[in-house]
């Protein structure tokens, strides 16, 4: 107790000292922060005011220019459909060019006679706006700017009006107006998250704000007469104009209805008399700037104070350490005992539960909940028999429970639990009672062993024994039948079949083997390849056998065998043979004569190469014809179109315009023909080489498909025409597949040389596909790409995974 009192007194003294110092420091820092906030707010408001003034003045010169257009003056003086159409077209042009809301023309009475929104649902052509101040000033010769809410559109805008004069320029004939959107100006303000920017009129109505809920509200309370004037001006719609609740709290501070305080700064808005730009920033935001430096500075101070307090408390703690250590050891031992019991109870792989004398569940282990599918909250407090089958429930209530609560012990009682999903689980339950000091049972501890699998296994074992007896008889018949079938297959198959042990000694050969090598089975059995074959052929056979034995997997090789002094090619498939223990005991080989197939493949490859070479020649010829013939015709047509445009420009402007349109169409066709010629056979491939050809094609691909295509190359020497053509066509086919099937947003094409090998990679980030789709598809052109790669002695590899893109690699020695 004494130690606690001393520690409390020391802690209080330390706290009071730290609190006093912290308060004084915080006060000084807070004052400095508010002065800095004042300076920043003034600078920020000055910038915002200049930007607003610039935005609100940007259409003053354009409206002056628009007022001087003859089309508007003619619309007032002539008042016919043609003049009105010309005025509307001029207004449309200015509206589209300036990006404003609307441009319109009002006659001397204030009625809108032409407008760029004449076809819009909110068109106000024919409406009279003579009550607007911007009209009243402009009609007497004074250009005006005005901020208001549109009566027809319901949108805020900055109105710029200018008088339209006749030829004598004495009395205005009409007024032209440009309306710019305030919403666009608000977006350009870009206020910070902790500041509020307002623009208010002389009556205090908020017209521009980054807080939408304050628009058209009053910044300060106004009298009833002032509100009537606001309503009569129709400048801000129908109202109501409520006060937002800010009240002054000094020259630079305001308070809202919720008691929150704000810094306030004001500037006059240029060209808008008595309009103000107001900047608000909350005290709470400014104060937050104090906290971080405060924590940074006071951290070492607090640490030093803690060291001093710790040194003082250490002496007292040393005296009480023995008692504290003793208590801690007792607590740790108790906690460890509880933890061991809890782990044992919950993690034992058996179903544990406890019930009270009324048979209600007190607790269950995690394994109990996991097996039956219930959470602990669902079972605690419920009778244990609720989770039994009906038969087990009666057995427990009539026999087991009475006996258990009498003796306090049961062992290996068979129950059936019902899981939450309705399944039945068989268990063997054993339980003991936990008694109080009076010897009465207060709770139980029960262990249930799940024997469902054992029950099922016993039943299955009986069925299996019966099935085994029947199966043994069937197996004997089946083995005899299969033995006869295998013997027939080995006897009559056209393939050469043999088996050897691990040392290479023959254990079995078929009839075709005897015919091929001119030996009998009795002569071959027990001998190696070196005993019956020539040395080179024996080395060839033994090498592939050892590969199968060492790799523990099958292999497929081509082996050369002399038949009647003529070499024949055999496709040999070899695979390991395993004994009863799963160890390799030998090798089996199956050989098929593929000499005719190889010859056919060679002829087919030569034919394919010839076809592709002729195809390239044909493409080159077609490209040359398109370029020389059709290109010259289109060029001549373009020259004639330009000549017609120049000749008809003054005499027949519509025909001249039609000739110019023909010229544009011809230019497009010339460009298309150039693209077709280049894709058929790019001249840059012949003139400058593979790198420049791929650079052009990837750029053209990106332009045509809008798929980002990045071409990267490094250390690429001059490539011969055959390999360059193959690489270019493979890239062309791969990019075509990507455009058609991949749904990709990016393609990377890389060209490298390394160790005298040209390496081309085309990688996309599209949807990809599976290997089975590639093998079954005839439309991806992969076979053609592989054929081109093979013809130049290269290898093509296509890798793809669904949703992870596709990668095409082409490697060829150069």
Same domain? 101 vs 149: yes
Among the candidates 285, 306, 328, a domain finishes at 285
Q: Which has the minimum average pLDDT: 57-66, 383-392, 667-676?
A: 667-676
Same domain? 814 vs 791: yes
Q: What is the mean pLDDT of residues 206-216?
A: 79
Same domain? 637 vs 567: no
The boundaries of the domain holding residue 769 are 688-814
**Domain-located, residue 482:** no
What pLDDT, on the 0 to 100 scale, is given for residue 112? 93
What pLDDT, on the 0 to 100 scale, is given for residue 679? 60
Find the helix or strand (DSSP H, E) in which 253 lies: strand 253-255
* Distance of alpha carbon 331 from alpha carbon 499, whole angstroms: 75
Contact between 256 and 262 (Cβ < 8 Å): yes
Sign of the alpha-carbon dihedral angle for 53, 56, 58, 60: negative
CATH number of the CATH domain containing 234: 3.30.450.20
**Domain-located, residue 802:** yes
What pLDDT, on the 0 to 100 scale, is given for residue 176? 94
Residue 491 gets the label, from left (phi > 0), alpha (psi -120 to 50) or beta, of alpha
Same domain? 608 vs 723: no
Between 617 and 413, the higher pLDDT residue = 413
Q: Quick check: 406 pLDDT over 70?
A: yes
* Distance of alpha carbon 396 from alpha carbon 404, whole angstroms: 10
Same domain? 161 vs 208: no
**Domain-located, residue 476:** no
Q: Quick check: 605 pLDDT over 70?
A: no
Same domain? 627 vs 546: no
| pLDDT tens per residue across span 81-130 | 898 999 999 999 999 998 898 999 999 999 999 999 998 888 889 999 88
Which structure tokens are listed for 631? 């290109």
Q: What is the mean pLDDT of residues 285-297?
A: 62
| pLDDT tens per residue across span 634-652 | 777 778 788 888 888 888 8
* Distance of alpha carbon 434 from alpha carbon 354, whole angstroms: 10
Q: What is the mean pLDDT of residues 405-410?
A: 85
Q: What is the mean pLDDT of residues 451-458?
A: 79
**Domain-located, residue 385:** yes
Q: Quick check: 502 pLDDT over 70?
A: yes
Same domain? 677 vs 692: no
* Distance of alpha carbon 177 from alpha carbon 66, whole angstroms: 9
**Domain-located, residue 670:** yes
**Domain-located, residue 325:** no
Among the candidates 661, 681, 701, a domain finishes at 681
Taking residue 333's Cβ as centre, other Cβ atoms within 10 Å add up to 10
Same domain? 540 vs 600: no
Same domain? 699 vs 809: yes
Among the candidates 285, 310, 326, a domain finishes at 285
pLDDT > 70: what percent of the chain? 81
- Total tally of structural domains belonging to the chain: 6
**CA dist list (Å): 56 to 60, 68, 177, 239, 403:** 8, 21, 14, 24, 97
* Distance of alpha carbon 568 from alpha carbon 561, whole angstroms: 5
Sign of the alpha-carbon dihedral angle for 139, 144, 145, 146: negative
User: Using 50, 70 and 90 to split pLDDT, how confident is the model at 164?
Assistant: very high
Residue 386: partners with Cβ closer than 8 Å, 6 or more residues away: none
Find the helix or strand (DSSP H, E) in which 445 lies: strand 441-450
What pLDDT, on the 0 to 100 scale, is given for residue 749? 95
Between 628 and 542, the higher pLDDT residue = 542
**Domain-located, residue 533:** yes
User: Using 50, 70 and 90 to split pLDDT, how confident is the model at 687?
Assistant: low
Residue 605: partners with Cβ closer than 8 Å, 6 or more residues away: 787, 790, 791
| pLDDT tens per residue across span 257-277 | 777 888 788 888 877 777 888
Across the strands, what pairs with 499? Answer: 508, 588
Strand order through the sheet with 441-450 = 361-364, 351-355, 441-450, 424-435, 409-418
What pLDDT, on the 0 to 100 scale, is given for residue 177? 94
> ∠ CA(121), CA(122), CA(128), 5° rounding?
135
Q: Which residues of 515-530 are buried (b: 16+ CB within 10 A; e: fewer)?
A: ebbebeeeebeeebbe
Same domain? 693 vs 814: yes
* Distance of alpha carbon 697 from alpha carbon 727, whole angstroms: 12
**Domain-located, residue 403:** yes
What pLDDT, on the 0 to 100 scale, is given for residue 776? 45
Same domain? 757 vs 809: yes
Give the number of C-alpha atoms closer than 13 A to the C-alpha of residue 509, restricted to the C-beta side.
23
CATH number of the CATH domain containing 799: 3.30.565.10
Same domain? 531 vs 443: no
User: Using 50, 70 and 90 to split pLDDT, how confident is the model at 747?
Assistant: very high
Between 722 and 630, the higher pLDDT residue = 722
Report field, pTM of the whole predicted structure over 0.85: no
Q: Between β-strands 708-714 and 746-754, what pairing exists: parallel, antiparallel or unpaired? A: parallel
What pLDDT, on the 0 to 100 scale, is given for residue 779? 47
């Amino acid at each position: 107790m004494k130690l606690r009192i001393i520690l409390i007194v020391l802690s209080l003294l330390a706290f009071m000292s730290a609190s006093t110092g912290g308060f004084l420091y915080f006060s000084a820092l807070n004052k400095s922060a508010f002065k800095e906030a004042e300076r920043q707010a003034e600078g920020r408001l000055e910038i915002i005011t200049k930007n607003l003034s610039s935005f609100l003045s940007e259409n003053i010169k354009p409206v002056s220019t628009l007022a001087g257009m003859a089309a508007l003056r003619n619309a007032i003086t002539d008042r016919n459909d043609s003049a009105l159409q010309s005025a509307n077209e001029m207004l449309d042009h200015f509206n589209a060019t300036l990006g404003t809301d609307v441009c319109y023309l009002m006659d001397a009475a204030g009625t809108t006679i032409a407008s760029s929104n004449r076809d819009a649902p909110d068109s106000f052509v024919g409406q009279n706006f003579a009550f607007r101040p911007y009209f009243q000033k402009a009609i007497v010769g004074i250009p005006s700017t005005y901020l208001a809410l549109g009566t027809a559109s319901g949108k805020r805008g900055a109105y710029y009006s200018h008088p339209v004069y006749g030829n004598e320029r004495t009395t205005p004939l009409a007024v032209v107006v440009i309306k710019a959107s305030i919403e666009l100006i608000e977006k350009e303000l870009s206020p910070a998250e902790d500041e509020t920017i307002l623009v208010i009129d002389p009556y205090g109505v908020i017209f521009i704000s980054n807080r939408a809920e304050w628009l058209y509200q009053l910044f300060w309370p106004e009298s009833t007469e002032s509100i009537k004037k606001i309503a009569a001006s129709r400048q801000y719609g129908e109202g109501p104009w409520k006060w937002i609740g800010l009240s002054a709290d000094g020259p630079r501070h305001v308070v809202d209805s919720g008691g929150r305080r704000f810094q306030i700064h004001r500037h006059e808005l240029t060209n808008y008399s008595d309009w103000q730009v107001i900047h608000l920033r909350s005290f709470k935001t400014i104060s937050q700037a104090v906290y971080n430096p405060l924590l940074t500075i006071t951290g070492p101070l607090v640490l030093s104070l803690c060291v001093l307090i710790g040194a003082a408390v250490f002496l007292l703690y040393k005296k009480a350490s023995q008692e504290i250590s003793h208590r801690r050891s007792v607590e740790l031992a108790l906690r460890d005992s509880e933890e061991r019991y809890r782990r044992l109870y919950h993690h034992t792989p058996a179903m544990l539960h406890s019930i009270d004398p009324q048979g209600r569940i007190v607790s269950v282990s995690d394994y109990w909940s996991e097996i039956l599918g219930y959470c602990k909250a669902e079972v605690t407090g419920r009778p244990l028999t609720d989770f039994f089958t009906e038969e087990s429930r009666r057995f427990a209530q009539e026999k087991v429970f009475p006996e258990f609560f009498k003796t306090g012990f049961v062992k290996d009682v068979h129950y059936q639990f019902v899981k939450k999903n309705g399944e039945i689980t068989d268990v063997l339950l054993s339980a003991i009672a936990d008694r109080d000091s009076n010897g009465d049972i207060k709770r139980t501890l029960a262990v249930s062993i799940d024997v469902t699998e054992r029950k099922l296994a016993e039943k299955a074992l009986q069925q299996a024994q019966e099935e085994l007896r029947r199966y043994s008889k069937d197996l004997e018949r089946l083995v005899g039948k299969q033995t006869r079938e295998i013997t027939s297959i080995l006897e009559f198959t056209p393939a050469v079949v043999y088996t050897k042990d691990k040392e290479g000694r023959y254990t079995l050969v078929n009839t075709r083997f005897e015919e091929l090598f001119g030996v009998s089975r009795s002569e071959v059995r027990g001998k190696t390849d070196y005993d019956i074959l020539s040395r080179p052929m024996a080395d060839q056979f033994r090498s592939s056998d050892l590969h199968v034995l060492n790799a523990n997997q099958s292999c497929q090789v081509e082996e050369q065998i002399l038949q009647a002094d003529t070499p024949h090619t055999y496709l040999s498939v070899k695979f390991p043979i395993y004994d009863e223990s799963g160890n390799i005991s030998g090798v089996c080989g199956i050989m098929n004569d593929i000499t005719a197939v190889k010859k056919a493949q060679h002829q087919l490859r030569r034919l394919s190469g010839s076809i592709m070479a002729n195809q390239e020649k044909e493409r080159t010829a077609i490209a040359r014809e398109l370029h020389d013939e059709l290109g010259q015709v289109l060029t001549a047509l373009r020259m004639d179109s330009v000549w017609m445009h120049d000749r008809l420009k003054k005499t027949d402007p519509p025909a001249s315009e039609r000739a110019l349109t023909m010229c544009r169409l011809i230019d497009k066709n010339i460009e298309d023909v150039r693209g077709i010629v280049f894709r058929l056979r790019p001249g840059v491939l012949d003139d400058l080489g593979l790198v420049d050809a791929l650079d052009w094609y990837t750029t053209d691909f990106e332009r045509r498909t809008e798929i980002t295509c990045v071409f990267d190359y490094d250390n690429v020497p001059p490539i011969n025409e055959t390999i360059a053509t193959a690489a270019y066509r493979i890239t062309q086919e791969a990019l075509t597949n990507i455009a058609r099937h991949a749904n990709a947003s990016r393609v990377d094409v890389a060209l490298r040389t390394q160790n005298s090998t040209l390496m081309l990679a085309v990688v996309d980030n599209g949807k990809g596909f599976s290997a089975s789709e590639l093998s079954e598809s005839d439309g991806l052109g992969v076979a053609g790409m592989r054929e081109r790669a093979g013809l130049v002695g290269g290898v093509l590899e296509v890798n793809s995974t669904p949703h992870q893109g596709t990668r095409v690699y082409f490697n060829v020695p150069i």
